[in-house]
Structure 1
C-alpha cells in the first residue's frame, strides 16, 4: 500500500478549496466538481512597445465569471492559494506554445513597498514565482516601481498609458536576458507595455508577457 505523501497530510490540516468558488475539495483535485467546466484556453494580445517592438502576451483564461471572482479574492481577500493555481495554469499554457522562444528568467510587475505591506504580498510576484518553479526558470526582481500612480481600473483606456509613464525602472540584471514578464490581469496592456519597454531599454534581449487572465473590456476591474 502506497504511503500518503506530505501534501496528503497538509490537506487534512488545511483542506484545499476550489480556486474558483472556495468550496472544499478532495486531496488531489484541482477544482471542485461544479467548476470543472471552467477550462483554460489560449488568449493572446500584442503589446506595442517602443522602439517598434511587438511583445506577445498570453493568458489561460478570460477575465469573466468565476475566473474574475477568483482573481478578485486573490488580490483583495488574502487567498494566495488561488494565485498558486493560476501560476501553474500559466506555466502549463506556456509549455504548450510551440512558438515560445527559449527564456532564461521570470520577472513580475512590481509594487511599491507600501502597497506590498498593505496587501501582504505582491500578487503578480506570487504568480511569477509559481510559474518560474513550474518552468524551471529563476525568478528575478528585475523591475522597481519608482513612483506612485493612480489605480489603473479607475481610468479610461488612453489615460492608462499616460498613467504608467515613468513609474517603473529596470535593474541592470536585465541586460542580455530573455524574460518572461508576468502580471495578474491584462486589459489595455498599459502596465505590461511600460514594464516591457523598461526591460528592453535596459538591455533585455527579448520579453514575453503573460497574465492569469485577459479582460475582454476596458471597463473590467483590474
Structure 2
C-alpha cells in the first residue's frame, strides 16, 4: 500500500480523473459526482459462431454518451489510464460461476500497436485478470492484415476478420476469458473464439466493456 505522503504527492502532481468525463476527482473516488449515475449493468449478447455452438459475450455498458466518449479517448486520445477502471468493473460484474483459467485479449497488429503505443483491450484484460486473481496470457495474434472494422457494414465485418487471427499452443485445454473493448456485430470475438477452440481450448467466454446500441449491431 502506498504511504499516505506519497499518495498525497501523487494526487498533487498526477491528480486522478473521472474515467467518463476527465474531471479531476478526489483520492479514493472512482468517478465524479456527475458521472456517478453511470453504473455498470451486466448484459449478454449471442455471438454468431458456426460449428461450435453459439457462445455469448458479456458486457457492462452500452456504447453511447459518456461511455462512448471515454472509450474513444482511451483508443484515440492517448488515455490508456481509463482501461484499468473498465477492466476492474468488468471483472466485478461477471457471474461468480464464471471460472476461467486464464484471461486474454483481442490482439492488434504489431504496426497498429506500435503506432498507438498500447493495445487498449490488453490493458482492460490485464486489469480484469488482476481483479479476478488470474494470469493474463497473450494467446492470440494477428496472422495477416485486414481493414479497420468500424468503417464496415455488418456483412463486411464478418468477411474482414476471416483468417486474420491465429492462436498459440498455450491455449490448449484452457478455459479462456477473452476480452475486447467494444462488441458491435460480434464478428471479431466470434472469429477469435473459433481459432482458440480450433487450437484446443477447453472453452472460451467473451466479455467486452460495451455493446454497440441496437441499430449499430
TM class, shorter-length: over 0.9
Gaps of 5+ in 1: none
Alignment partner of 1:17 is 2:3: no
What is residue 179 of structure 2 aligned with on the other side? 182
Q: Give the alignment of 1:47-196 within 5 angstroms.
A: 47-94=47-94, 97-100=95-98, 102-196=99-193
Separation (CA, whole Å) in 2 of partners of 1:43 and 1:5: 41
Moved more, 186-195 or 38-47: 38-47
1:54 deviates by: 2.0
- Quote the Cα distance in structure 2 between the aligned partners of 1:207 and 1:10: 39
> How has the CA–CA distance of structure 1 residues 180 and 163 changed in structure 2, closer, same or farther, with 3 Å as cutoff?
same
State how far apart, in whole Å, the 1-side matches of 2:63 and 2:212 are.
5
What's the counterpart of residue 33 of structure 1?
33
CA distance in 1, matches of 2:190, 2:175: 16
Residue 56 of structure 1 deviates from its aligned partner by 2.0
The alignment's C-alpha RMSD in Å is 1.4
| Cα distance between partner residues in 1 of 2:126 and 2:91 | 11
Contact 2:63 2:211 in 1 (8 A): yes
Q: Deviations over 1:41-93 (max 9, x none)?
A: 01111113232322221111111100000000000001111111101111111
2:199 maps to 1:202: yes
Q: Which runs of 5+ in 2 are unaligned?
A: none
CA offsets 1:181-210 (integer angstroms, 9 cap, x no match): 000000100000000100000000000001
Q: Secondary structure at the match of 2:201?
A: coil
1:5, distance to aligned residue in structure 2 (A): 6.9
Aligned-pair distance for 1:6?
Answer: 4.8
The answer on whether the counterparts of 1:74 and 1:82 sit within 8 Å (CA) in structure 2 is yes
Would you say the 8 A contact 1:43–1:62 is kept in 2? no
Counterpart Cα distance in 1 of 2:73 and 2:134: 27
**Against the structure 1 CA distance between its residues 22 and 170, is the aligned structure 2 distance closer, same or farther, given a 3 Å change threshold?**
same
Query: How far apart, CA to CA, are the structure 1 residues paired with 2:32 and 2:156?
Result: 40
Q: TM-score, normalised by structure 1?
A: 0.93
How high is the TM-score relative to the length of structure 2?
0.95
